[in-house]
Structure 1
Amino acid sequence: MTKSAWQGQWIWNEGEESPRNEWRCFRKTFEVPAGGWDEANFRITADSRYVLTINGHRLGRGPVRSWPFEQSYDTYDVAHLLLAGQSNTISVLVQHFGVSTFYYIRGRGGLLAQLDLKLSDKAVFTLGTDDSWLTSRHLGQHPRSPRMSCQQAFAEYVDASLWDEAWVLPQYDDSSWSPAKVVGPVGTGPWTTLKERDIPMLTEEQVYPVRVESLHQVKPFSWSTAIDLRNHMAPGSEDHSNLVGYTGYLAVVLHAAAPTSAILGFPYSYEGFGACTLNGQRIDPVQFTGTLPEKYVEIELLQGDNLFVMHVSGKAHTGKLHMGLYAETPIELRFPGYVEGAGSPFLTIGPFDTAVYLDHQDGRELDLEIPLYKEVLEKIKSAADLELYRTWLKPVDVKFVSEADVFGLCVWKKEAIRHDVPSSLQNMVIANSAAASIPAYPGYDTECVVDFGKELSGYLSFELEAEEGTIVDLYGFEYMLGDYRQDMFGLDNTLRYVCKQGRQQYVSSVRRGLRYVMLTVRSGGAPVKIYEVKMLQSNYPVAEVGRFQCSDPLLNDIWQISQHTTKLCMEDTFVDCPAYEQVFWVGDARNEALVSNYLYGVNDIVKRCLRLVPGSKVQTPLYADQVPSGWSSVIPNWTFFWAIACQEYYEQTGDRLFAEEMYPHIKYTLDHYLAQIDENGLFNIKGWNLLDWSPIDQPNEGIVTHQNCFLMKTLFTAAEMASKFGDLQGQASMTEAAEALRTAINLHLWNAEEQAYIDCIHADGRRSDILSMQTQVVAYLTGVAEGERKERMDHFLIDTPKHFVQIGSPFMSFFYYEALAESGRVSEIVADIRNNYGQMIDSGATTCWEMYPNFAENRANPNMLSRSHCHAWSAAPAYFLGKEVLGIQMAAPGWSEVVIAPGPSGLAWARGAVPLPDAGRIDVDWRVDESAKRIHITVQHPKHIKVTVKIPDGYQGEIVRKTSFGVL
Structure 2
Amino acid sequence: MKFINKRIFLFFAFCLTVYFAFAVDVKVDTERKVKEAIPNPDLQKKVWDAMWITCPGVSLLDYGVYHFRKTFDLEAVPESFVVNVSADNRYRLYVNGESVCYGPARGDLMHWYYETVDIAPLLKSGRNVISALVWNAANYKPGAQISLNTGFILQGNTEKEFIVNTNDSWKVINDKAYSPSPDNRQDTGCADRIDGLIYPWGWETMNYDDSNWLKAIMISRALPYGLGTGYNWVLCPRDIPLMEDKPLRMKTIRRTNGIQVTDTFLQGKTSITIPANKKVSFLIDQTFLTNAYPMLTVSGGKGSEILIRYAEAMKKDGQKANRNDVNGREITGWVDKFYPDGGSNRLFSSLWFRTYRYVEVDITTKEEALNLLDFYGMYTAYPFKENGSFVSDEADLSKIWEVGWRTARLCANETYFDCPYYEQLMYVGDTRIQALISLYVSGDDRLMRKAIKMFDYSRTYEGITASRYPSHVAQYIPPFSLYWINMVHDYWMYRDDPIFVESCLPGVLSVLEWFRDKIDARTGVLGYLPHWNFIDWPKEWPWDNNLPLGGTHRATIDGGSAIISLQYAYAIKDAVDLLNAFGETYLAERYKQLGASISNHIWNDCWNESKQLLADDLQGSSYSQHVNIMGILSDAVPQNKQVEVFNRLDTDSSLIQATFYYRFYLFKALKKVGLAEHYVSMLQPWKDMINIGLTTFAENPEPTRSDCHAWSASPCIDFLATICGVEPAEPGFKSVKVEPHLGTLKRIKGNVPHPKGLINVVLEQKGDNLKGRIILPAGLSGTFNWFGNKKALCEGINDINVSKK
- Equivalent residue runs for 1:603-682 within 5 Å: 603-618=445-460, 620-679=462-521, 680-682=523-525
Asked whether the 8 Å contact 2:419–2:425 carries over to 1, the reply is yes
- Equivalent residue runs for 1:155-234 within 5 Å: 155-187=191-223, 191-217=232-258
Asked if residue 900 in structure 1 is aligned to residue 738 in structure 2, the reply is yes
Aligned partner of residue 651 in structure 2, secondary structure: coil
**Overall identity of the aligned pairs, in %:** 22
Return the alpha-carbon distance in structure 2 between the equivalents of residues 439 and 643 of structure 1.
Answer: 61
Residue 471 of structure 1 aligns with an amino acid whose one-letter code is: E
Which residue matches 2:775? Answer: 940
Which residue matches 1:471? Answer: 305
Return the alpha-carbon distance in structure 2 between the equivalents of residues 533 and 214 of structure 1.
Answer: 16
Aligned partner of residue 169 in structure 2, secondary structure: coil
Q: Shift in Å at residue 204 of structure 1?
A: 0.4
1:849 to 694, 698, 703: 698
Q: Deviations over 1:277-333 (max 9, x none)?
A: xxxxxxxxxxxxxxxxxxxxxxxxxxxxxxxxxxxxxxxxxxxxxxxxxxxxxxxxx
Q: Shift in Å at residue 525 of structure 1?
A: 6.5
1:925 to 745, 762, 768: 762
Aligned partner of residue 80 in structure 2, secondary structure: strand
Pair 551,935 (structure 1): closer, same or farther in 2 beyond 3 Å = same
Which residue matches 1:750? Answer: 607
Q: Shift in Å at residue 61 of structure 1?
A: 0.9
Residue 498 of structure 1 aligns with an amino acid whose one-letter code is: Y
Q: Deviations over 1:340-373 (max 9, x none)?
A: xxxxxxxxxxxxxxxxxxxxxxxxxxxxxxxxxx
Return the alpha-carbon distance in structure 2 between the equivalents of residues 958 and 934 of structure 1.
Answer: 15
2:281 to 447, 458, 470: 447
Pair 586,957 (structure 1): closer, same or farther in 2 beyond 3 Å = closer
Return the alpha-carbon distance in structure 1 between the equivalents of residues 657 and 153 of structure 2.
Answer: 52
Q: Shift in Å at residue 909 of structure 1?
A: 0.9
The alignment yields a C-alpha RMSD, in angstroms, of 2.7
Aligned partner of residue 155 in structure 1, secondary structure: strand
Q: Shift in Å at residue 50 of structure 1?
A: 0.7
Return the alpha-carbon distance in structure 1 between the equivalents of residues 601 and 793 of structure 2.
Answer: 50
Q: Deviations over 1:623-669 (max 9, x none)?
A: 21000112221111111111110111011112111110111111122
Return the alpha-carbon distance in structure 2 between the equivalents of residues 525 and 733 of structure 1.
Answer: 79
Residue 108 of structure 1 aligns with an amino acid whose one-letter code is: N
Q: Shift in Å at residue 527 of structure 1?
A: 5.0
Pair 961,186 (structure 1): closer, same or farther in 2 beyond 3 Å = closer
Asked whether the 8 Å contact 2:772–2:799 carries over to 1, the reply is no
Q: Shift in Å at residue 192 of structure 1?
A: 4.4
Asked whether the 8 Å contact 1:636–1:707 carries over to 2, the reply is no
Return the alpha-carbon distance in structure 1 between the equivalents of residues 149 and 312 of structure 2.
Answer: 34
Q: Shift in Å at residue 102 of structure 1?
A: 2.3
- Equivalent residue runs for 1:313-328 within 5 Å: none
Q: Deviations over 1:874-908 (max 9, x none)?
A: 00111111111122222123332122222221112
2:335 to 483, 487, 494: 494
Asked whether the 8 Å contact 1:463–1:504 carries over to 2, the reply is yes
Residue 493 of structure 1 aligns with an amino acid whose one-letter code is: W
1:95 to 111, 135, 156: 135
Asked if residue 698 in structure 1 is aligned to residue 541 in structure 2, the reply is no
1:823 to 673, 678, 691: 673
Return the alpha-carbon distance in structure 1 between the equivalents of residues 296 and 692 of structure 2.
Answer: 30
Return the alpha-carbon distance in structure 2 between the equivalents of residues 672 and 722 of structure 1.
Answer: 17
1:595 to 437, 444, 448: 437
Asked whether the 8 Å contact 1:25–1:91 carries over to 2, the reply is yes
Asked whether the 8 Å contact 1:41–1:78 carries over to 2, the reply is yes
Pair 824,965 (structure 1): closer, same or farther in 2 beyond 3 Å = closer
Aligned partner of residue 783 in structure 2, secondary structure: strand
Return the alpha-carbon distance in structure 2 between the equivalents of residues 942 and 478 of structure 1.
Answer: 41
Q: Shift in Å at residue 453 of structure 1?
A: 2.2
Asked if residue 14 in structure 1 is aligned to residue 56 in structure 2, the reply is yes
Asked if residue 436 in structure 1 is aligned to residue 292 in structure 2, the reply is no
Return the alpha-carbon distance in structure 2 between the equivalents of residues 648 and 426 of structure 1.
Answer: 46
Structure of higher CA gyration radius: 1
Q: Deviations over 1:542-593 (max 9, x none)?
A: 2211111111111110111011111121111111111111111111100111
Which residue matches 1:252? Answer: none
Residue 270 of structure 2 aligns with an amino acid whose one-letter code is: A
Q: Shift in Å at residue 172 of structure 1?
A: 0.8
Asked whether the 8 Å contact 1:37–1:117 carries over to 2, the reply is no
Pair 782,773 (structure 1): closer, same or farther in 2 beyond 3 Å = same
Q: Deviations over 1:185-206 (max 9, x none)?
A: 1248663421111011011011
Return the alpha-carbon distance in structure 2 between the equivalents of residues 532 and 192 of structure 1.
Answer: 40
Pair 655,79 (structure 1): closer, same or farther in 2 beyond 3 Å = same
Which residue matches 1:48? Answer: 89
Residue 688 of structure 1 aligns with an amino acid whose one-letter code is: W
Q: Shift in Å at residue 964 of structure 1?
A: 7.9
Pair 73,535 (structure 1): closer, same or farther in 2 beyond 3 Å = same
Q: Shift in Å at residue 602 of structure 1?
A: 0.6
Q: Shift in Å at residue 779 of structure 1?
A: 1.3
Residue 709 of structure 2 aligns with an amino acid whose one-letter code is: H
Asked if residue 426 in structure 1 is aligned to residue 263 in structure 2, the reply is yes
Return the alpha-carbon distance in structure 2 between the equivalents of residues 437 and 619 of structure 1.
Answer: 61
Return the alpha-carbon distance in structure 1 between the equivalents of residues 676 and 609 of structure 2.
Answer: 30
Which residue matches 1:803? Answer: 654
Q: Shift in Å at residue 619 of structure 1?
A: 7.2
Return the alpha-carbon distance in structure 2 between the equivalents of residues 876 and 515 of structure 1.
Answer: 22
Asked whether the 8 Å contact 1:140–1:160 carries over to 2, the reply is yes
Q: Deviations over 1:679-722 (max 9, x none)?
A: 22222213212111101561251332221111112223222212
Pair 721,486 (structure 1): closer, same or farther in 2 beyond 3 Å = farther
Which residue matches 2:15? Answer: none
1:688 to 532, 535, 540: 532
Which residue matches 2:584? Answer: 727
Aligned partner of residue 650 in structure 2, secondary structure: coil
Q: Deviations over 1:757-807 (max 9, x none)?
A: 22135xxxxx2421111211121122221145534423324322x321122
Q: Shift in Å at residue 446 of structure 1?
A: 1.5
Asked whether the 8 Å contact 2:190–2:334 carries over to 1, the reply is no
Which residue matches 1:878? Answer: 716
Asked whether the 8 Å contact 1:425–1:436 carries over to 2, the reply is no
Q: Shift in Å at residue 114 of structure 1?
A: 1.2
Return the alpha-carbon distance in structure 2 between the equivalents of residues 580 and 714 of structure 1.
Answer: 30
Which residue matches 1:293? Answer: none
Aligned partner of residue 508 in structure 1, secondary structure: coil
Aligned partner of residue 474 in structure 1, secondary structure: strand
Return the alpha-carbon distance in structure 2 between the equivalents of residues 619 and 457 of structure 1.
Answer: 37
Residue 165 of structure 1 aligns with an amino acid whose one-letter code is: W
Which residue matches 1:135? Answer: 172
1:31 to 61, 73, 80: 73
Asked whether the 8 Å contact 1:464–1:529 carries over to 2, the reply is yes
Number of corresponding residues: 728
1:783 to 635, 640, 658: 635
Asked whether the 8 Å contact 2:495–2:732 carries over to 1, the reply is yes
TM-score (norm 1): 0.72
Pair 966,40 (structure 1): closer, same or farther in 2 beyond 3 Å = farther
Q: Shift in Å at residue 524 of structure 1?
A: 7.4
Aligned partner of residue 770 in structure 2, secondary structure: strand
Aligned partner of residue 760 in structure 1, secondary structure: coil
Pair 707,966 (structure 1): closer, same or farther in 2 beyond 3 Å = closer
Residue 110 of structure 2 aligns with an amino acid whose one-letter code is: F
TM-score (norm 2): 0.85
